[in-house]
Amino acid sequence: MLGFLFGEALRDLRRAGRVAVAAILLITLSLAALGGFWLVSANVGQAAAHWRDRVRIIVYLKREPSADDAHALVERVLAMPGVGAVRYVSKAEALGTLKQVLGKDASVAEQLPANPLPASLEVTLTAEGTTPEGARGLIARLSGLSEADEVGGGIDWIERLARGQRLLEVIGLGVGAVLAMAAILTVTTATTLVLHARRQELEIMRLVGAPELVVRLPLLLQGMLQGLVGAVMAIWVLIVLYTIAGPRLEPLVSQTLGLERLTFLRPQTVVALMFAGTMLGGFGGWLARGRTER
């Protein structure tokens, strides 16, 4: 029985001809567009997570505390929500770091009459602290310390990166939805043409007592096959584009986003695209079925 149903579905697909090919191409375009935006969004999200792990908030102190006071201050900051680690940086250590940065020009710092750099706390955030709300709350608490003169750093630009990721996802869904609607309508048209071509054959099958499921299921399978073929083609389009463009874009991505290499879609995302394509085609076939039922 299963072989008969699939055989009928393949025969209906051949009958649909160019309309079926157009439906497959539209499904390919819609899923390739959606998958492409997901691919870019995934890499942007990976870059945002990469930089969130490196975020540091610097608390510049009004005066250099004693060793005991510095230890007590570090313990107080460690107890704040969103703080993962705290490192105290003395004025002498800050000046030494400056000399290392200056390199051969370090003699400029040695000519200063006094050390102008303040002591500071270098605060490393937890996952909770790197969220927009967590970071804003933590910066407010650090600014409220009586020892704090100024609080520097933050995650504003990482927030913008995350907003860009969300925007890409929304655009991808929008473009994919528009193309998906066109694909569904085309699948519906192709299935309707098959129904029209087989109307006498279907009536005869009903007269001889064939179950309605046997009559209708090949048409639904036809749409699902179109969707599955379109999904597989879309995935191959993405693979080819990733293979060609990935190595050329990686140097730029490394300099701008800090990623060593671009990553492809995760296996579950690939499976989701194939499932989405199958459902798109099946929905188009179901719509044609609904239109022709009496």
Please, where in the chain does CATH 3.30.70.3040 lie? Answer: 56-154
If you compute the radius of gyration of the chain from its CA atoms, what whole number of angstroms results?
Answer: 31
The percentage of residues in the chain with a pLDDT greater than 90, rounded to a whole number, is 13
Contact between 121 and 89 under an 8 Å Cβ cutoff? The reply is yes
Band (pLDDT 50/70/90 cuts) for residue 290 is very low
Residue whose token pair is 């913008």: 160
Band (pLDDT 50/70/90 cuts) for residue 292 is very low
Give which of 159, 153, 139 is closest to 80, Cα–Cα. 139
With a CB cutoff of 8 Å and minimum separation 6, the contacts of 6 are: 218, 221
CATH tag, 56-154: 3.30.70.3040
> pTM to 2 decimals?
0.61
Q: How far is CA 286 from CA 31, 190, 226, 227, 282, in A?
A: 20, 12, 13, 13, 6
Whether pLDDT at 84 is above 70 = yes
Neighbours of 128 (CB within 10 A): 15
> Cα(179)–Cα(170) distance, rounded to whole angstroms?
14
Give which of 269, 255, 43 is closest to 164, Cα–Cα. 43
Question: Ranked by mean pLDDT, which of 107-116, 185-194, 197-206 comes out on top?
Answer: 107-116
